[in-house]
Amino acid sequence: MASAIDPQLHARLRQSFLLGLTRQPLTMPATLTELLPRDREPALPLLALTAQWQRFAGAPSPVADPVPDAARRLHEDARPILPEPARRALKALARSVEKSLATNVLPLALRRIQAAGCRPHPFDLPDLAAHIKANVEDQGLAERAFLALIASDSDEDAAKGLFFERITIDNWTSFPKAQRRGFVAGLRRDNPTDGRALIESVWKSEPAPVRAALLDALVVGLGVEDKPFLESLGTDRADSIKQLAAQLLTRIAETAQRGSRLTEAAQCFKRAGSLLAKIGLGSASTLTFKLPSDGLKWQETEALRERVFGGLQLSALAAAVGAPPEALIAALPPSEQRVLMLLMESAAAEGDDDTVMRIIGARLTSGDSLHGYTVMSLATKARQPLAPAAAERMIASPSWQKAVKELADATTPAAQKDDGRLVLMAALMPSAAMPAFLASLDALPLATARAAKDFTDLVQALPT
């Protein structure tokens, strides 16, 4: 027997009862006129019929929205999900690390996960979104897909790069601008001409923000061959492009004078001590550094550092000084951290990660003290952990032992709080050095070393 109430009629009756009969009076359906008693108010019988229909016929099933392409791509990532022990360690690290350090520490943890060939659990992506977004160069397919899912409709860049596992010469234009910049920079390290040709091939079709990112990639392998292209940008429609092109042209002009700059930089290093040291046969520890900044204001001194050391390679400077690179790093006083960062930036721009890590290892083991801001500035530049031998020297160094002792001897909870030295040092440790690193923390209270130990637990739980 067919029901006298259909879905449309049920929806109208239900709406009347929900809003109230005063606001929306009942309209007697023609199909029910003969079925309802004529001598009584129809509201109660209609309410009973409506409730019974909803109970037995059921409301229509909701229509599910189509699954977004980004959601499907998220689960198509071929990398294995983070093993459960490593996932627990990552969540423990997110809870234990100081909030002021989380923006530096968690991207380093994600970098270690990426290097191990894994991806975060999909349920953890919302909590890690800010750190994933800041870690542009290490985003895999799952991370890019998740960022596309949560991006606003106006963020067109977030939806790019969802169709391919990795960026190549054939698909590079479909990725976000930051990854495109990194791809072109990597290409220019091997062949500057091909990298510039790739930029020129898409130049006229790209918006200004993308063109600025691609133009910035020309810093890698910059030479006189790039001059005609940069000069042609003097009439570009965007002022930001004109300014960036002018800066690169200035840098090319300065490169021609690099020989004199190299000599000027080398003259900042002096040998002191015995006669053997003065002729280059003494200990490297006799090397000192003095910037010719007497009488200069702070801004003028900063400009001098940028002019003399910007773009210089550590190997070329060491050859000009006639000393090992480690000796030059050890000679830089703490006040010359900017010179150290300029040398690291030059190596990073050339893709020379080994030199970057060599500078970090030498800096951490030089001197007799170690500060949180020093470790932070170095760790955030590291693209890989220290070499096992460098890590062993770091753990055995007087500066590390002194730092641990200072925290262990502190008498107040505030003084015992990790200022970044412990957890960021853990981020620099290779897997092989983790047991020795953990042993060096034995004298510390658990609360002080908690975040550092959580980071080591994460690294040790990752597949090798």
Q: pLDDT by residue (tens digit) across 46-99? A: 788 778 777 776 655 666 667 677 788 888 888 999 999 999 999 999 999 999
Q: Are residues 286 and 240 in the same domain?
A: no
Give the containing element (helix H, strand E) for 287: strand 287-289
> Which residue in 445, 402, 446, 393 sits closest to 421, CA to CA?
402
User: Distance between CA atoms of 10 and 182, rounded to whole angstroms?
Assistant: 60
Task: Check whether 1 has a pLDDT greater than 50.
Answer: no
pLDDT value at residue 273: 61
pLDDT value at residue 86: 96
Q: Are residues 153 and 45 in the same domain?
A: no
pLDDT value at residue 156: 57
Do the beta carbons of residue 192 and residue 225 sit within 8 Å?
A: yes
**Residue 220 per-residue DSSP state:** T
| pLDDT-above-70 percentage for the chain | 89
pLDDT value at residue 62: 60
| Lowest-confidence pick of 36-45, 103-112, 411-420 | 36-45
Q: Are residues 389 and 377 in the same domain?
A: yes
pLDDT value at residue 162: 60
- In the block, tokens 């975060």 appear at 120
Do the domain assignments include residue 2? no
pLDDT value at residue 164: 65
**Which runs of consecutive H residues, i.e. helices, occur in 271-430?**
275-278, 298-309, 314-321, 325-331, 337-349, 353-365, 372-379, 388-396, 398-409, 413-416, 421-428
**Domain final residue, candidates 255, 280, 310:** 255
pLDDT value at residue 85: 96
Do the domain assignments include residue 64? no
Do the domain assignments include residue 123? no
**Domain final residue, candidates 317, 348, 379:** 348
Q: Are residues 437 and 448 in the same domain?
A: yes
Alpha carbon separation from 259 to 19, 221, 314, 328 (Å, rounded): 85, 17, 14, 19
Give CB contacts under 8 A, 24+ apart, made by 103-106: 103/130, 103/131, 103/134, 104/376, 104/379, 104/380, 104/420, 104/424, 105/423, 105/424, 105/427, 105/451, 105/455, 106/131
Q: Are residues 74 and 197 in the same domain?
A: yes
> Which residue in 319, 362, 327 sits closest to 344, CA to CA?
362
pLDDT value at residue 388: 92
Task: Indicate the pLDDT class of residue 25, thresholds 50, 70 and 90.
Answer: confident
Do the domain assignments include residue 381? yes
| pLDDT-above-90 percentage for the chain | 27
Q: What are phi and psi of 155, to 5 degrees?
A: -90, 85
Do the domain assignments include residue 356? no
Q: Are residues 76 and 214 in the same domain?
A: yes
| Lowest-confidence pick of 6-15, 40-49, 150-159, 349-358 | 150-159
Do the domain assignments include residue 77? yes
| Chain mean pLDDT for the chain | 84
Q: What are phi and psi of 4, to 5 degrees?
A: -80, -10
pLDDT value at residue 15: 80
Q: Are residues 88 and 146 in the same domain?
A: no
Q: Which domain holds residue 317?
A: 258-348
Q: How many C-beta atoms lie closer than 10 Å to residue 182's C-beta?
A: 18
Token pair for residue 13?
A: 């009756």
| Lowest-confidence pick of 279-288, 289-298, 388-397, 445-454 | 279-288
Q: Are residues 248 and 140 in the same domain?
A: yes
CB neighbour class for 176 (10 Å; exposed up to 12, middle 13-18, buried from 19): buried
Query: Which segment, 230-239, 275-284, 334-343, 440-449, is predicted with the most confidence on average?
Result: 440-449
Q: How many C-beta atoms lie closer than 10 Å to residue 443's C-beta?
A: 13
User: Distance between CA atoms of 394 and 386, rounded to whole angstroms?
Assistant: 9
Q: Mean pLDDT, to the nearest integer, of 384-400?
A: 91
Do the domain assignments include residue 400? yes
Do the beta carbons of residue 422 and residue 455 sit within 8 Å?
A: no
pLDDT tens digits along 241-274: 888 888 888 877 766 655 678 888 999 998 876 5
Q: Are residues 79 and 224 in the same domain?
A: yes
pLDDT tens digits along 307-359: 888 878 899 899 999 999 888 988 888 888 889 999 998 888 777 888 899 88
Which of 437 and 133 is assigned the larger pLDDT?
A: 437
Q: Mean pLDDT, to the nearest integer, of 107-119?
A: 93
Task: Indicate the pLDDT class of residue 458, thresholds 50, 70 and 90.
Answer: very high
Q: Are residues 77 and 224 in the same domain?
A: yes
Do the domain assignments include residue 247? yes
Domain count, the chain: 4
Q: Are residues 148 and 246 in the same domain?
A: yes
Q: Are residues 104 and 237 in the same domain?
A: no
